Amino acid sequence: MNDAAGIIIRHNDKVLMCKRGPKSSLPGIWSIPCGGMEKGEDPAETAIREFSEETDWDMSSATMKFVGGVPIKDGKGTIHCFLVDSDF
């Protein structure tokens, strides 16, 4: 598996989570909006694109902070995680 990237949206003491669809990898699992990196794409670009695909929200002007990487099952990649503090 390739690397992936996603955005953690934090509002006060809550975070946005998405439940993965029945036909996705890891169906029924709750996670942050994230997805696989395309060839030549950097993690921030991936996070913005995937967030938009999964939520229909444009995060291209958001202030994102890289908070770290989470290993993907069996060490076959990393999910690059970014944080956005929200006031909405």
Collect the ranges in the chain with pLDDT lower than 70. 1
Name 3's bridge partners: none
> Number of structural domains, the chain?
1
Nearest to 64 by CA among 40, 21, 33: 33
24 lies in which domain range? 4-85
pLDDT confidence of residue 1: 54
Q: Considering only CA atoms, which of 36, 37, 58, 38 is closest in space to residue 48? A: 58
pLDDT (0 to 100) of residue 62: 93
pLDDT at 16: 93
Query: Cα separation of 53 and 81, whole Å?
Result: 16
| Residues 6+ away with beta carbon under 8 Å from 32 | 6, 7, 8, 9, 15, 16, 17, 18, 81
The CATH number linked to 34 is: 3.90.79.10
